[in-house]
Amino acid sequence: MSWINRSGKGLHMKNKAGNLRRNLLMFTACTMVSAVGGAAVASAQSAPTMVTPTAVTPTAVGPTAVTPGGASSTTVTPADENAYQIKKIHILYQKLLLREKDLPSAVTELNEQDIKTQNPTMGSVQTLLKMAPSVQAYSQGPGQSAPTLAIRGVKNDELAETLDGVPLTSFQGASGDYLTNNVGAPVTLNEIDAANVYPGIAPPEDQGFGTIGGTVAYTSKQPTDDRYAELEGGIGSFDTQHIGFVLNTGKMGTGVDAPKALMMYDQSQTAGYVSNTNAQYHNFLFNVQKPYDGGLSKAGLLVIFNQGKGFIQTTPTPVAEINANKWTYNFPKSLGFYNQAGKFLTVIASDETYINPHLIFNGSLFYQHSDDTIDSYAAPSTVDGTFPYSVNVQAPANFYGNIGPSSYHYSPGFFTYDPIAAFGSVNAGESSEYTKGWENKIGFVPRLNIFLPHNTIAIGGLIAKESSSGAQYIYGGTGAQFVQDNGYNSFILGGGAQRTVYVGYISDKISLLDNKLIIEPAARVTAAYTSTITQMNSYYQNVKYQNFTKVGEPYIGISYNAPFHLVPYVTAGKGSLFSPTADYAGGLDNLPGSTHAPSPEIVHAFEVGMKYDTPRLYLSADYYYQQVTDAFSFYNNYALSQAYYANQGGFLLRGVEVAGKYRITPELTISGNASYNNTDNTASDFAFVTLQNDQFGYAFKGTPFSNVPTYMANIALDYDKGPFSGRIAGQYTGREYQTTDLLTPNDPTGQFSGATITDLHTTNSPDFIVNLYASYKFPIHSHRLQSLTATFTALNIIDTKYFTYKYNSEIAYQGTYSILPQYESGLIGPPRSLQLDLVAKF
C-alpha cells in the first residue's frame, strides 16, 4: 500500500521522481504533464525539494572552423539542431512537472504491486480498495461477485468512479450494489495499473460525475516500450481456476512516434466459497497508443469487454442452518436461486495535444454499453408462509400477492397473466421472474491545461448522455417452462429513461512563497436534463416525466510546505448527486409529492490534515466532516400501487484517519493505516438502511448507520529483493451495528410494520484477517522463454470465521413482513483461500 501526498511530497514516490528527472524524455514528460496521466504527474511532483533548471545555452558539438582574425565559429548540423530542440523541450517539461503541484487531501494510491497481492482471480476491485483508510468492502465470492463498497460510510451508488478520466458510474443513479450488475464489472483487477481513492470531495478535475462521498479513479493497463508475451494460468480453492494471455507489441518502429499496443484476455471460473454460487468470467482489454508531432502529442484507443455469469444470494443464510450444516452452507438450487449474467463494453478514444509551452489539450470520446439478465426462482413451498426461512426474497409472490384478474396489477392489453389459472396457486404461479435491462452511454471529456509562471489552470468538463430500458416477466416453474409473452406476463415493459449531463469547471493552482504555499480555488457547475417514459405496469402511471436541474459546486484547497518536513493542509468543497431516474414516477394512487422528482443531494465537506515526510518515514493524519442534506427518501407499497419520492433525509459523517510508511531497509518496508468513522442520521425518513440497499426501512434521526465499522485498520510488511517479492498483510474490521425489523408487537399502529431499522443493541463481532502474497521469478536461459514466475496467494490464511453482514430476518408472505418470529442470518466472509499462479514470459 502507498498513499499519495498531494502536497508535493511523498515517500513512496521519491525514487520514481529522481529516476524520472534523470531520464526524462520529451514524450514521457509530455505524457506525464497531461491531465489523464495523473498518477505519473504525482510521481514527478513528489520531490522533497524544488529545483529550477537553468536556462539552456547552445553548445557547439560540430566541427570547429578557423575564421580570419583567429575567431572561431560553430558549424551546426541538422542532427545537432534536433538534439538542441529536444534538450530545450526536455527542460521545458521538467520545469512544468516541477511547477505542477496537486493540492493535499487524504488520497490513497493503490499501485500495481497492491493489485498483484490481491490476486485478480480470488479478489476483486472492491477488496483492493479496502486497503485504503475508511473503506468498507466485501463480496459474496471470488472475483466480481455481488460486491459491496462504502467510503467513510457513503454507499457505492453515492460514489463516483472514473477510468482514465472517463466516468464509469451510471448517470441515471443506481439502486446500490444490491442485485445491480452483480456478476462481472466494467473494469477488473486484470485491467488496471493503479487506483486512486479520493474520499470526500476531490478537486473538480478528478471528481467524475455525481458524488457526495468520494471518487475512485482507475488507470487502465498500459502498453510498454519492451516487446513481450505472457501465458498465465492458476488454480485455487473452491475449484477456482483461470487461464489467459498478455501480448505487448513494444514500440513498433523507431523514433519517438512509434506506436505500441497491449492486448489481454483472461477466463476464470469458480464454484464459489458459498455453496451453489458458481460463476464464470471473461475479461478482454486492448490498448493502443500512437505518439505524433515528434512525440509531443499522443492518440490512444482503449477497448474493454467483460462478461460474467453466476449465482448469488439475495438474502443472507440463516445462522441456524450454517451451524447445523457447514460454514459455507447455502440452500440447494431446487429450493431457490438467483442467476445473473452481465456484459460490459467500454471504448475510449483519447488525444493529448501539445499546442505550445503554455497550452496542452486533452480530450476523450467514450462509449459504454452494459446489459444484464436475471433468472430468479423460489420453490412454491418456500413462499407459502410456512417455510421457516426466506430462500429467495426476490420471488414475486413475496411482494405482490395475487396478481391475477382481481388485483391492482391486472391490466388488459399490458398484463393479463393469471397465476392461479396457469399453475393452480399464487405460490406456484409467481415462483419465477425473468428480468433484462440495458444501458448505453456516450460522451466527451475535454480539458485544457494552461501553464503560467505562478499558476496552473485547468478548464474542462463533461458532455454525455445515457439511456436505458428493460423488461420483467412473471411466471411459474423454471427453465424451459418459462414464458416471455408481451401483453400476457410482461409485468414491466417498454418505456425507458435518459439523462443528458453537462459539467464545466475551472481551477487555478497558485504557487506562492517560492512554491511553499499552494492555493487552489475552483468552481464547478453540474447540470442534467432528465426524461423518463415510465414502463408499462400496474403500479406506475405510464406517462413522461422530465426536468432540468443544475448545481454550483465551489472548492478550495490550501497547503504549506513548512519546516521540519511538515505539510499542513485544509480543503473544503461542495458536491452533489442527482436523483435516480427511477424516482421520476408515481403510483396509481399517488401520494403527495410523488409527481415531483427529488432535487439533488448536497454534501458540504471539510478536511484538515498534516503530513510528515522524510526519506525513510512518511506519516499523515486528517480529520473530516461531511454534512449531507436533502438526502433521497422514498416509499413504495407494491400491494397498493403507491409510490412517493422526496428529499427528506440527511446524515453527518465525521472521522479521523492516519497513515504511515517506514522503510526499514532498502528491501523491507512496513506500512499501515487506521480510521475512526462516526455516522449519524440527521433526519428521519423512509430509505434503504443498509450498504447494499437490500433492506428498505426507516432511518430515525440520531441513529448511526448499520454495516459501517467504527474502527478499521490495515498493516502490511513488504519485502522485495531480486527475483523474490512478498507481502504479509492484516486487515482489522471493527464492530458495526446490525439491523432489525419493526414488527407488529413493537409497532402497535402498524405505520412502520416490517420496516428495517438500525439495531442499537446488536453489533457484528470485529475480525482480523491475515493475507499472504509471495512471488519468485525464475530466469530461463532461452532465446524464446525469458522467465517463469510462480505466485502464491493466501487470503484469510488463519481461516478466521466471520460475517461481513448480519441481521435479523423474518418470513415475507405476499407483501406482508410483520410475521414472527425473526431469525438471525448473515453473509459469511471468505474462508481461507489459496491460489497458485504461473506466468511464462516470452
Give me the chain's average pLDDT, please. 83
Comparing 96-100, 129-133, 157-161, 493-497, the range with the smallest average pLDDT is 96-100
Which tens digits make up the pLDDT trace of 185-215? 899 999 999 999 999 999 898 988 989 999 9
| Helix, coil or strand: residue 220 | strand
Is residue 664's pLDDT more than 90?
yes
Distance separating alpha carbons of residues 391 and 314, to the nearest angstrom: 8
Number of H helices, E strands in the chain: 10, 40
Residue with cell 419465477: 432
Cα torsion for 407, 409, 415, 417, to the nearest 10°? -40
Q: Is 113 exposed, middle or buried (0-12, 13-18, 19+ CB in 10 A)?
A: middle
3-state secondary structure of 395: coil
Residues 6+ apart with CB under 8 A from 406: none
Grid cell 436533502 in the structure block, residue? 630
Instruction: Please give the average per-residue pLDDT across 747-772, as a whole number.
Output: 81
DSSP state of 396: H
14: pLDDT strictly greater than 70: no
Do 188 and 177 meet the contact criterion of CB atoms below 8 Å apart?
no
Structural contact between residues 135 and 145, judged by C-beta atoms closer than 8 angstroms: no
pLDDT score recorded for residue 53: 31
In this predicted structure, which of 13-17, 151-155, 178-182, 835-839 has the lowest mean pLDDT?
Answer: 13-17
pLDDT at 63 over 50: no
User: Which grid cell sits at 563?
Assistant: 519546516
Give the orientation angle of helix 78-99 with respect to helix 26-33, to 10 degrees: 30
Reported as a pLDDT band with limits 50, 70 and 90, residue 439 is very high
Contact call for residues 380 and 431 (beta carbons, < 8 A): yes
Least confident of 67-81, 290-304, 631-645: 67-81
Q: What is the pLDDT of residue 173?
A: 80
Instruction: Using DSSP bridges, classify how beta strands 617-637 and 642-663 pair: parallel, antiparallel or unpaired.
Output: antiparallel
pLDDT band of residue 583 (cuts 50, 70, 90) is: confident
Give the range among 1-15, 386-400, 423-437 with minimum mean pLDDT: 1-15
Q: Domain 246-841: which topology?
A: Maltoporin; Chain A (2.40.170)
pLDDT at 789 over 50: yes
Could you report the per-residue pLDDT of 551-567, keeping only the tens digit for each? 999 999 999 999 999 99
Beta bridge partners of 555: 522, 573
Domain chopping of the chain, boundaries: 246-841
Cβ(294)–Cβ(30) below 8 Å: no
Q: Which residue type, as a one-letter code, is found at position 724?
A: F
> Which pLDDT belongs to residue 555?
96
Cα(170)–Cα(519) distance, integer angstroms: 32
Nearest one of 478, 585, 600, 579 to 539, comparing CA atoms: 585
pLDDT at residue 817, rounded to an integer: 60
Question: Residue 46 — pLDDT band, cuts 50, 70, 90?
Answer: very low
Residue 33 has pLDDT above 50, yes or no: no
The band of 504, judged by pLDDT with boundaries at 50, 70 and 90, is very high
| DSSP labels, 532-579 | EE--B-SSS-S-EEEEEEEEEEEEEEEEE--STTEEEEEEEEEEEEPP
pLDDT value at position 20? 29
User: What's the grid cell of residue 457?
Assistant: 489552470
Q: Which residues neighbour 524 within 8 Å (Cβ) at sequence distance 6 or greater? A: 204, 207, 503, 504, 505, 552, 553, 554, 555
* Cα 156 from Cα 147, distance rounded (Å): 10
Can you list the alpha helix ranges (DSSP code H) found in 124-237?
A: 125-129
Could you read off the pLDDT of 364-377 as tens digits, one per residue?
999 999 999 999 99
The amino acid occupying position 385 is G
Q: What is residue 47's predicted lDDT score, i.e. its pLDDT?
A: 30
Supply φ then ψ for residue 41, to 5 degrees. Answer: -60, -45
Q: What is the pLDDT of residues 141-175, one digit of tens each?
A: 888 777 788 999 999 889 999 999 999 989 988 55
Measured distance CA(229)–CA(839) in Å, rounded: 10
- Phi, psi of 122, deg, nearest 5: -85, -30
Helix (H, G, I), strand (E, B) or coil at 402: coil
Residue 152 confidence (pLDDT): 95
**Mean pLDDT across 577-605:** 73
Q: Please state the pTM of the whole predicted model.
A: 0.86
State the pLDDT confidence band at 505, using cuts at 50, 70 and 90.
very high
Closest CA to 492 of 538, 531, 532: 538
Confidence of residue 820 (pLDDT cuts 50, 70, 90): low
Q: Phi, psi (5° rounding) for residue 744?
A: -55, -45
Strands annotated E in 566-641:
566-577, 601-613, 617-637
Give residue 635's identity as a one-letter amino acid code. Answer: Y
Q: What is the mean pLDDT of residues 709-716?
A: 96
Residue 96 has phi, psi (to 5 degrees) of -65, -40
- What cell does 216 get? 475512485
Asked whether residue 724 carries a pLDDT value surpassing 70, the answer given is yes
Confidence of residue 237 (pLDDT cuts 50, 70, 90): very high
| 363/165 Cα distance (integer angstroms) | 10
